[in-house]
Structure 1
Amino acid sequence: MEFTTIRLDQITWDLQERINPDLENLRKSIESFGLIDPLIVEGPNEEDKYYLIHGYRRYLVLKQLKKKDFLISVRVIGKPTSKLERETKRFHIQNTSKKIIGAEEQFLIEQIQKEGNYTDEDIVQLLNPKKNRIKRMKKSRSIDEKLRREVAKARGSQHALEVIYSLDISEKERNRLFRYLLNRTLTGDHADALWRVHNHELFSDLNDYQKSEVINQTLRQAKFTKQEAELIVIAELMKENPNLYKRYAPSWINYVCQVLEEYTQFIHPDLKNYSNEFQTKRLRSSLGKLNHLLSWTWKRGYEEEASEIRTNNKYDYETENTEKGYRFRRHKY
C-alpha cells in the first residue's frame, strides 16, 4: 500500500454507480479546500490506468470541474485485480464506512453474487453482510430490478416495495401504491400496517373495491401525524370548556363530523340480527347520549314539551324536515 500522485484521467471506474450521489455540498467543499482525502485505487495496468475502488463521489465532482490534467493524491492498495475482486473490496470498504444506503448495498451484493456465481452461504462467508440483508434479498429478487432502482432513486422504502408486491390486490391498486411510494407518501410504517391488515384471515373475502377502502383507511391510520397529535390535545380541552378555545372549535367540529360520518358507514341494518341484549343496550345508551349532546343541531329544543309526541310505548319520535328528507330522534321517557 502506497500513496502517490496521478492525473485524474488516469483513473477509470468500471463498477456499479451510486444511486443518489448528492454532489452539491461535496463540490463546494472541493472547490473551497481541494481534495482532502485521497482516492483509493489499484493499478496501474499495462495502459498506466488505475481502477477506482473508493471515492466515487469525489471522482465525479473532479470530473464535473473538468480537472482531467489535475494531479490528485491516491492510495494504491495493490496491482489490478478482476472486476469481481474490485466489487468485493468496494463492498467491504463501504459496508464499514456506512456511506451507502441499504438498496445500494443490496445491489452491490447481488452484482458480486451474480458475477461470482456464489450461493447465499458463500456471500455470507465472503462479505459478512448485515444479518437481515440476505433474508431481505430473497424477498426482493422476484421484483423487477428496474422498479427497485426507481424506488431507490426516489429514496423510497425497499421494504415497502416488497410489501406492495406481496399484497393480494389488483394491479390497478398495486400501481397506485407504487406511485405513493415514489412520492414518498407511503413509508415503511405504512407498509407494516398494510401487511398486518393483509394477513388477516378475512382480507381475501374482500372484493377489489373493499380492499381499496381498507387500504385507504390503513394508510390514514398507520402514521401518527402532527394534526392527529393536535386533535388529541384539543379533545381534552374541548371536553372541559370549549369557550376558552374558540379558535379551535371549527376544526374540532369538522373532525367530529368526519368521525361520525365514518361510523355510519360501519353500520349495516342486518347487524341487529347478531347483537345480543347487552350490546343492544350499550348501543341504545350511546345513541341516547349522542342525541342529547347534539340536541342543539335541531331547530326545536330537545327539552321542549310542545315537541313531545307521547305514545303508548316507552319512546317518542320527533321528526324534522331536511334538504335530503326526514330525520328523527328517539327519546326515552
Structure 2
Amino acid sequence: MDQPDDVWNWDNGMAPDCAVEGGIEAPIDTAGLRGKLTPQAPLAKLVWFKTGGKADWLFEPEDRADLEEFLGRLDGDLPVMALGLGSNMIVRDGGVPGVVIKLGKPFADVSIDAENCIVECGGGAHGILVASAARDAGVAGLEFMRGIPGTVGGFVRMNGGAYGTEVADVLVDCTLIMPNGECHTLPASDLQYSYRHSALPEGAVVVSARFKGEPGDPEVIGAKMDEIAEARENSQPLRTKTGGSTFKNPPGEKAWQLVDAAGCRGLKMGGAQVSEKHTNFLLNVDNATSADIEGLGEEVKRRVYENSGIELEWEIQRVGRP
C-alpha cells in the first residue's frame, strides 16, 4: 500500500529528500533512518479520549537502534514525548510541540527468567501481556498490571499501580534513551518513586524494564487476574472514551468519594461528563473537545475544594498547547 504524501517511510536505509507536502522540512538529516516520521500527525486516534490536536512530528522507530540514531541526530533541539496507549492522557486541542515517539511492536517483547522470577519487557508492551506472560511462567506479583490499561513505559514513568501493588514494588531497573540519544540503565532506586510520580528525566523514552516477581502457581495467579478483570468490569466505565483515573487519591481519602460528595456525579461540560458509574472517570460522551474534558476536571476540582477543603491533583497527564 502506498504511503500518504505526508508520511515518510524509510526502507533499507534509503531516504527521500528532506521535504514534505506543504514545504515542511525535516528537523534532522533523515538519511539511513528506517522508521516512519509524520509531520502534523493527528493524535486523537491514538488516545482513549479520542480528542486533541496534532503532533508537530510523530516518529515510529523501527527498533531501538533506529530510535537512538534519530534522537542522537535531534540532539535535544526539540521537546520529546513518548506515547504509549494514550489511556491516561489528555492531548490538548492545540497539539503537541516537538516530537512524539510512538513505540510499536518492536518494543513489545516480553521474556521471562523463570528461575530468578525476572520479567523483562519492552517499553511498548501492554500490561495485560506482561501479566499473562508472567502467569504462564509461574511468576507471581505482576497480576496488578492486568488492571492497568497502558504500556510498560507509561507504568515506569507514572509509577502505575492498582489493587494494592505499584511499579515501585516490583521494578528492578529500566533502560531509557534521552532526548539527545544517550542510553542509560537506571535502578529503581534512582527514580525516587512516590504516588503516581517518578524522577524519570523529562523527555526520556523507556525502551525496556525488568520486574522482579516471586514463584507462584499459574492457576492461582490466573484466578487473581480474573478477579482484577471482574472488579474493573463491575466498577469502571470500560469501553467508553475515557482516560482512566482522573485524580490522585489524597492521603487517607478516595478521590471518587470526594467527587461524589461534591455533587459531581454525572456533571457535564460541553461534550464531556463525569461518569455516573465511577466518579473519578471523565468521559467523552458527545464529541467533546480536550478543552471540554480538562475544563470539566477543573470544575470538579473547584467543587471538591469548596465542599471538603481538599485540593485534588490530576493523575491524568495533560500535554500540549491549550
The structure with the greater share of residues assigned to helix is: 1
Q: TM-score, normalised by structure 1?
A: 0.24
- The one of the two structures with greater contact order (alpha-carbon pairs below 8 A, sep at least 6) is 2
Q: TM-score, normalised by structure 2?
A: 0.25
Bigger CA radius of gyration? 1
The structure with the greater share of residues assigned to strand is: 2
